[in-house]
């Protein structure tokens, strides 16, 4: 497998920046991994706060602690989830996509320079 394709696949299927690590572009790898991590941080932070809201409602007795009640509340909250999670998903998706494209582009550029 050629190195540009391998680098793009590393960034696509492992984590943004892994392809850049394979190409020994360490600053780029840190850059993409950092922005993807920011997106993940906000995404999981929002999900954690939603889960904590459900736990608080169960502990206060607002809903019963059975699977059907909790499931209904989760489905109710999921309708509002898209608006609040959208910025986090956008950051994560853009970092991931740009990392893949950049790994492939830089890999091709390095292959051309080295004559591989």
Instruction: For residue 35, tell me if it sits in a domain.
Output: yes
Count CA within 13 A, CB hemisphere, residue 15.
15
pLDDT score, position 116: 54
* Residue 115: inside a domain: no
94: helix, strand or coil: helix
Q: Which residue range is the domain that position 24 belongs to?
A: 3-10+18-110
- When divided into structural domains, the chain yields a total of 1
Both structure tokens of 18: 């892994």
Each of the 116 residues of the chain gets a pLDDT tens digit; together they read 889 999 999 999 999 999 999 999 999 999 999 999 998 998 888 889 888 988 898 899 888 888 888 888 888 777 666 666 678 888 889 999 999 999 999 999 988 887 65
Q: Which two tokens stand for residue 30?
A: 């840190």
User: Which helix (H) or strand (E) segment is 54 a member of?
Assistant: helix 26-60
Residues with Cβ < 8 Å from 86, sequence gap 6 or more?
none
């Amino acid at each position: 497998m050629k190195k540009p394709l391998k680098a793009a696949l590393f960034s696509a299927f492992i984590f943004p920046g892994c392809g850049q690590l394979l190409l020994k572009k360490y600053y780029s790898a840190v850059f993409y991994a950092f922005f993807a991590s920011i997106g993940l941080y906000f995404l999981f932070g929002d999900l954690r706060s939603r889960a904590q809201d459900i736990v608080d409602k169960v502990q206060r007795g607002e809903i019963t602690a059975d699977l059907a009640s909790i499931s209904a509340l989760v489905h109710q909250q999921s309708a509002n989830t898209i608006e609040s999670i959208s910025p986090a998903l956008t950051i994560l998706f853009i970092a991931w996509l740009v990392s893949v494209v950049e790994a492939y582009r830089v890999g091709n550029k390095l292959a051309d320079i080295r004559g591989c």
